[in-house]
Amino acid sequence: MALLSFENLQHSYKQLGEQFYSMQAPTPVTAPMLIRLNRELAEQLNLDPAALASEEGLKLLAGNAIPDNIEPIATVYAGHQFGGWNPQLGDGRAILLGEVLAQDGRRYDIQLKGAGRTPYSRMGDGRSPIGPVIREYLVSEAMAAFGVPTTRALAAVATGEPVMREGLLPGGILTRVAQSHLRVGTMQYFSARGDLESVKALADYVIERHYAEQIEQSREEPYTALLTSIVAAQAQLIAQWMSLGFIHGVMNTDNMLLCGETVDYGPCAFMDSYNPMKVFSSIDTQGRYAFANQAEIGRWNLSWLAQALLPLMAQAEGADEQSALKKAEAILENYSNIFMGHYQHLLAEKLGFAEASEEVNPLSLKLLQLMAEEGADFSLTFRTLADHLAPPGERQFLNDIHTLPDTFANWIEAWQALLGGKNIAPQEARRLMN
């Protein structure tokens, strides 16, 4: 294994051209301290955990010592933020070291978040308080454990330097890992400038890096197939979020990765008391990114990706813009079907059914309605239902801290009757629910 070396480090994105990035080294910090190293992830990335935990490894994770063969960059992108267009954003406090080839044969970005100012920092200081670093480490790793596509956390480092926010706070740097950090906003940046050559180069790169197999098997032309693949990935991702009661909080187009992973764990949360219109971002005063709006916002974001890809789709159709437009509209229309199908399936499993059906779906919907009316805790409601099926001697402590309201009695009776009608044994239902 290598430290972050040297032989297995690549920088394929940098080869696309200087219009995609700016060269930018991290800004050294005074007294770095390793808070947490994700050793299991390091091994999956073919990195040496012991070397990363060493003094030299800490220097690298803090951005204090970058080997000569690593050429760090900050990438440029644009985006719609809370519905408003910003023609240039970019990595304002994140620096991409390069990519490593992991044990699964895929390439993964290694990025230092909070590593100092870049050309895209605008009025920011390029730093991060340690609180958000620890938060992203914990939440992203929890999402990975739940099986949700997500960026990962390789390391959390305290910088030994204060950052000014609402007051002076200790600073930190997160080493973030992703299949790539390319965003819908990356496509938008070049599309808005009429730079079709760069849009094509980026699309070809995304195909090669993330969707080569799907597109090779598709009967569609490559750019139509690319849009189809990304739309499906995002629809399924957001369905997974919502099945867990997860509220992202800042679903801007620059926070939607083309690889289909969750990114940016800022004002996010797992819902407690169920309220479909709950928000966790203090600046989302209109509820744009409320829990129940997430699926539709995903579709809205993807419509901007479709707009960026449309000229390439039209070229492949022999410059037939109307034909390309109809295909894009059909793909976006199918987004809702993919989302709902996946969401209903996940809800069915949470109730102990192997698949959604015309009988199960209304039951799921009725439960959510009851939860909203009663303000029931999202996760504990499902955990309590699973416990409800256990033999008395195997029941966990949840019923001691969370009981379902009496208004759930008729629903529970209908649920148990449907399980019995489908000959689903309690232990099998609990296995799916757990």
pLDDT single digits (tens) 224-235: 999 999 999 999
Position 3 in a domain: no
Residues 313 and 429 occupy one common structural domain: no
What is the pLDDT at residue 320?
83
Residue 157 lies in a domain: yes
Q: Does 251 score more than 80 pLDDT?
A: yes
For residues 147 and 17, membership in a common domain is answered with yes
Taking alpha carbons only, the member of 258, 261, 262, 263 closest to residue 306 is 258
- Does a structural domain hold residue 374? yes
Same domain as 343, residue 361: no
Is 254 annotated in the active site?
yes
Provide the domain count of the chain: 3
Question: Within this chain, do residues 103 and 141 fall inside the same structural domain, yes or no?
Answer: yes
Residues 279 and 289: beta-carbon distance below 8 Å: yes
Domain presence at residue 1: no
pLDDT at 410 exceeding the cut of 70: yes
Q: Is residue 4 part of a domain?
A: no
What is the average pLDDT across 262-287?
94
Rounded Cα distance, 133 and 130, in Å? 5
Is residue 98 within 8 Å of residue 8, measured between CB atoms?
A: no
Long-range contacts of residues 215-222, Cβ cutoff 8 Å, at least 24 apart: 220/327, 221/313, 221/316, 221/317, 222/316
Residues in the chain: 434
Q: Could you tell me the residue range of the domain that residue 371 belongs to? A: 351-433
Q: What is the pTM of this model?
A: 0.95
Bridge partner residues of 22 (DSSP): 74
Q: How many whole angstroms separate alpha carbon 254 and alpha carbon 181?
A: 10
* Final residue of a structural domain among 348, 377, 399: 348
Q: Look-up: residue for tokens 């290598």? A: 2
Same domain, 55 and 97: yes
CA dist 123 and 407 (Å) reads: 52
**Stronger pLDDT, 387 or 207, i.e. the higher one:** 207
66-90 average pLDDT score: 96
Q: What pLDDT sits at residue 318?
A: 77
Mean pLDDT, residues 286-294 taken together: 97
Using the 3D structure, point to which of 149, 178, 207 is the last residue of a domain: 178
pLDDT value at residue 2: 55
**C-beta of residue 289 within 8 angstroms of C-beta of residue 268:** no
Domain membership of residue 19 (yes or no) is yes
Judge whether residue 250 has pLDDT over 90: yes
299 inside domain: yes
My answer on whether 118 and 237 are in the same domain is: no
Chain centre to alpha carbon of residue 83: 19
| Mean pLDDT value across the chain | 95
User: Which among 254, 264, 284, 377 is annotated as catalytic?
Assistant: 254
Query: CA 167 to CA 164: how far, in whole Å?
Result: 5
Is the predicted pLDDT of residue 264 greater than 50, yes or no? Answer: yes
Q: What percent of the chain has pLDDT over 70?
A: 96
Residues 57 and 165 in one domain: yes
Query: Which letter does DSSP use for residue 273 in this model?
Result: B
227 with 315, same domain: the answer is yes
The Cα diameter of the chain in Å comes to 69
Locate 255 and state its tokens: 């926070």
Q: How confident is the model at residue 1 (pLDDT cuts 50, 70, 90)?
A: low
Does 6 have pLDDT greater than 50? no
Rounded mean pLDDT, 346-368: 98
User: Which among 251, 278, 262, 275 is positioned nearest to 376, based on CA atoms?
Assistant: 275
Both 148 and 223 in a single domain?
no
* 269 and 257 in a common domain: yes
Helix (H, G, I), strand (E, B) or coil at 175: strand
- 397 confidence band (pLDDT: 50, 70, 90): low
Last residue of one domain, picked from the residues 348, 371, 390: 348
Checking if the pLDDT of 363 tops 90, the result is: yes
Statement to judge: residues 391 and 312 lie in one domain: no
Task: Assess whether 144 and 233 both reside in one domain.
Answer: no
